[in-house]
Amino acid sequence: MTKQIRLGILGENLAAEYLRKKGYGMVERNCRKKWGELDVVAISPDKKLVFVEVKTVSGIDPKITGEDQMTASKIKKFKRAAKIYADGCGQLLAGERGWQLDLITVELSKNTARVRHYQNI
CATH match of 3-118 with 3.40.1350.10: yes
Q: Are 53 and 39 spatial neighbours (Cβ–Cβ below 8 Å)?
A: yes
Residue 91: what pLDDT? 62
DSSP 8-state secondary structure symbol assigned to residue 45: T
SS3 43: strand
Question: What is the C-alpha to C-alpha distance for residues 121 and 80, in angstroms, rounded to an integer?
Answer: 14
What percent of the chain is modeled with pLDDT above 70?
93
Q: Are 93 and 87 spatial neighbours (Cβ–Cβ below 8 Å)?
A: no
Residue 3: what pLDDT? 86
Question: What is the C-alpha to C-alpha distance for residues 10 and 24, in angstroms, rounded to an integer?
Answer: 19
**pLDDT digit string (tens) for 9-55?**
999 999 999 999 999 999 999 888 887 899 999 999 988 999 999 99
Domain boundaries, the chain: 3-118
**pLDDT digit string (tens) for 62-115?**
778 889 999 999 999 999 999 988 887 766 655 557 889 999 999 998 888 999
CA distance readout (Å), 43 to 21, 26, 29, 34: 13, 7, 12, 23
Q: Are 18 and 117 spatial neighbours (Cβ–Cβ below 8 Å)?
A: yes
